[in-house]
């Protein structure tokens, strides 16, 4: 099981224990700073329905923040806490595989929903699809851990995960009205759905330590029990008496 709380590693452990999270945090900060100096960079990293962004944007869209310094600080803090905890629990390779899978799945499922319900693909950028998958994965991995929501209200991790899912469902289709809004909300959950499935797979078949199952001890049956034992009981009794008689004769000869 992962650490019961998303702990901050010590300074000397930051670069050694969570290299992938470190690279993501540096990339977020660099993208934000370069985007301020050269705004066209945001268009190069965002997901757009044209080439090459239709392909490259599947991975780079979480690193576009616009001028949202608050969003940068919050997303960096979430990645540092929850992402760092996942990386220390799973290791580099599994953690990177998780991030790539959930990040791509989130935008692909979201764009499928836009294509089916709105008639086309839309441009998209921002870190919250990736961050939500990380938070939900950590919550499902540590459901009974207690954290301070908004640094004030203590809540179980599992409820933080469900709150994240509810916010995604209602806030992602923000500009859509009517029945399509409620349908489109389900397509915002592709990344978190894969995150939950990934955690369950890791618990069952992967490398996450899990509580060993209690071994059931089967009762040992006596050789003479059962229907065949009842039939052989007279024969075994005759053999027993025969061995006793042989022992008695042997001791008499020795005397």
Among 76-85, 187-196, 206-215, 241-250, which is the least confidently predicted range?
A: 206-215
pTM of the model: 0.73
Of 7, 29, 28, which Cα lies nearest the Cα of 18? 7
Q: What is the C-alpha to C-alpha distance for residues 231 and 236, in angstroms, rounded to an integer? A: 10
pLDDT of 203 reads 75
Tell me the per-residue pLDDT of 64-90, one tens digit each, with 9 for 90 and over: 988 888 989 999 999 999 999 999 989
Mean pLDDT of 47-71: 89
32 and 72 in contact (C-beta within 8 Å)?
yes
Per-residue pLDDT band for 37 (boundaries 50, 70, 90) equals confident
Mean pLDDT of 140-150: 84
* Strand 146-149 to 153-156 pairing: antiparallel
pLDDT of 214 reads 54
pLDDT of 248 reads 74
Among 29-33, 61-65, 167-171, 214-218, which is the least confidently predicted range?
A: 214-218
- Express as a percent the part of the chain with pLDDT over 90: 44
Of 167, 54, 180, which Cα lies nearest the Cα of 116? 180
Higher model confidence: residue 249 or residue 95?
A: 95
Residue 107 has pLDDT above 70, yes or no: yes
Q: What is the C-alpha to C-alpha distance for residues 152 and 114, in angstroms, rounded to an integer? A: 37
Of 20, 104, 91, which Cα lies nearest the Cα of 62? 104
With tokens 């934000």, the residue in question is: 32
pLDDT of 233 reads 67
Q: What is the C-alpha to C-alpha distance for residues 195 and 234, in angstroms, rounded to an integer? A: 65
Higher model confidence: residue 248 or residue 12?
A: 248
Mean pLDDT of 78-106: 93
């Amino acid at each position: 099981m992962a650490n019961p709380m998303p702990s901050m590693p010590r300074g000397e452990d930051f670069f050694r224990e969570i290299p992938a999270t470190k690279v993501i945090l540096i990339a977020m900060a660099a993208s934000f700073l370069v985007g301020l100096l050269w705004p066209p960079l945001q268009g190069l990293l965002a997901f757009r329905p044209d080439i090459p962004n239709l392909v490259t944007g599947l991975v780079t869209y979480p690193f576009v923040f616009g001028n949202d310094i608050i969003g940068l600080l919050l997303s960096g803090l979430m990645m540092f806490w929850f992402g760092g905890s996942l990386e220390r629990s799973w290791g580099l390779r599994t953690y990177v595989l998780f991030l790539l899978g959930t990040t791509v799945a989130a935008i692909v499922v979201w764009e499928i929903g836009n294509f089916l319900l709105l008639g086309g693909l839309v441009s998209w950028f921002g870190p919250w699809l990736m961050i939500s998958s990380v938070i939900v994965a950590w919550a499902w991995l540590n459901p009974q851990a207690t954290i301070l929501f908004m640094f004030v209200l203590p809540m179980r991790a599992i409820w933080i995960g469900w709150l994240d899912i509810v916010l995604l469902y209602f806030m992602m289709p923000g500009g859509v009205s009517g029945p399509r809004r409620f349908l489109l909300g389900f397509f915002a959950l592709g990344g978190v759905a894969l995150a939950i499935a990934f955690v369950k797979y890791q618990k069952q078949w992967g490398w996450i330590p899990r509580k060993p199952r209690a071994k059931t001890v089967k009762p040992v049956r006596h050789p003479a029990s059962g229907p065949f034992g009842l039939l052989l009981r007279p024969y075994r009794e005759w053999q027993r008496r025969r061995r006793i008689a042989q022992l008695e004769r042997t001791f008499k000869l020795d005397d």
